[in-house]
């Protein structure tokens, strides 16, 4: 069966979706995207994803209204049309054709809006049980980069970071900022636990404030981990009692080694396991059909 996509307000076969040759996302990476996880035919925290995209659009593209984006019903129909209950769902929004000038300041050129849904392929269970290895990226996050902290389609730098991780046989590559403070992974947020306290880099590092990151901070409060958003150095990272990564697809993934340095003797930590369990329970709760 040919996959169905949501494309500019219509459901069409994937091979029928066409971008104009002058689309700003295609030419210049002028776009935003959100990657979401669906379970039981429900997308986890879809409105949080939409709100983040709207905030980025206002700063980087143009102000949008929620009505310009797919509705909850649209997402559900896309899953149904593709016969998917558990899926990886991606919303991409670009500036559209850059050769279509606005005829009215109140009516800017239309955006290109596309949603795809494919079977979910999270990390295999053994990685959650045994943990993963990460490396330190040779690239830096700059607080002066206007794209920092936003999920944009200008993604080549992150892909190069992931290539570096793959070449080092690592799951992820961690980025520091130009002040040598821990920022984030190529596709993840980073947390440490030290002396029973949960810590993660603050928003202004800068980092992308992940939807999973937000939930883990809430779960940390419930588990009395007194979460802190605080600047972290390489020493904080290597001296952590526990270390893990988050994003909407992997949820909470333990890290047991940074390059050649073991974290907690190379064992997955107790609190990381508890946070993963709590995260999965919250997902199940929110994605259970009413």
Whether residue 143 contacts residue 269, with contact meaning beta carbons closer than 8 Å, is answered with no
- Note down the domain range covering 208: 125-286
- pLDDT tops 60 at residue 269: yes
Q: Does this model's pTM top 0.85?
A: yes
Mean of pLDDT values over 171-179 = 98
Domain of 112: which CATH number?
3.30.470.10
- Of the three residues 68, 95, 119, the one that is the final residue of a domain is 119
- Of the three residues 70, 96, 119, the one that is the final residue of a domain is 119
Mean of pLDDT values over 134-154 = 97
Domain of 255: which CATH number?
3.20.10.10
| pLDDT digit string, tens, across residues 270-286 | 999 999 999 999 999 99
- Of the three residues 74, 89, 119, the one that is the final residue of a domain is 119
- pLDDT tops 90 at residue 290: no
| pLDDT digit string, tens, across residues 190-237 | 999 999 999 999 999 999 999 999 999 999 999 999 999 999 999 999
Same domain, 226 and 278: yes
**Taking all residues of the chain, what is their mean pLDDT, rounded to a whole number?**
95
Same domain, 109 and 163: no
- pLDDT tops 60 at residue 245: yes
CA angle 23, 29, 30 (to 5 degrees): 70
pLDDT of residue 179: 97
Exposed/middle/buried for residue 75 (C-beta within 10 Å: 0-12, 13-18, 19+): buried
Same domain, 77 and 179: no
Whether residue 181 contacts residue 190, with contact meaning beta carbons closer than 8 Å, is answered with no
Q: With bands split at pLDDT 50, 70 and 90, how would you rate the model's confidence at 100?
A: low
Mean of pLDDT values over 144-150 = 97
């Amino acid at each position: 069966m040919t996959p169905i996509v949501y494309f500019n307000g219509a459901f069409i076969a994937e091979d029928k979706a066409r971008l104009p040759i002058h689309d700003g996302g295609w030419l210049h990476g002028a776009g935003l995207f959100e990657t979401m996880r669906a379970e039981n035919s429900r997308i986890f925290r879809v409105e949080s994803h939409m709100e983040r995209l709207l905030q980025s659009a206002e700063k980087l593209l143009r102000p949008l209204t929620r009505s310009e984006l797919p509705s909850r019903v649209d997402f559900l129909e896309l899953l149904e049309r593709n016969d998917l209950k558990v899926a990886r769902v991606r919303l991409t929004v670009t500036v559209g054709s850059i050769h279509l000038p606005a005829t009215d300041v109140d009516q800017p050129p239309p955006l290109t809006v596309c949603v795809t849904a494919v079977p979910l392929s999270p990390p295999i269970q053994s990685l959650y049980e045994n943990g993963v290895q990460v490396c330190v990226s040779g690239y830096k996050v700059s607080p002066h980069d206007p794209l920092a902290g936003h999920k944009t389609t200008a993604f080549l730098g992150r892909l190069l970071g992931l290539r570096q991780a793959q070449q080092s046989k690592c799951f992820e590559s961690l980025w520091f900022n130009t002040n040598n403070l821990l920022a984030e992974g190529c596709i993840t947020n980073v947390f440490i636990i030290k002396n029973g306290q949960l810590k993660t880099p603050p928003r202004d590092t800068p980092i992308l404030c992940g939807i999973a990151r937000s939930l883990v901070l809430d779960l940390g409060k419930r588990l009395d981990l007194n979460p802190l958003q605080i600047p972290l150095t390489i020493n904080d990272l290597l001296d952590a009692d526990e270390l893990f990564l988050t994003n909407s697809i992997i949820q909470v993934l333990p890290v047991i080694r940074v390059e050649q340095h073991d974290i907690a003797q190379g064992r997955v930590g107790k609190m990381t396991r508890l946070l993963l369990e709590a995260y999965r329970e919250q997902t199940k709760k929110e994605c259970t059909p009413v």
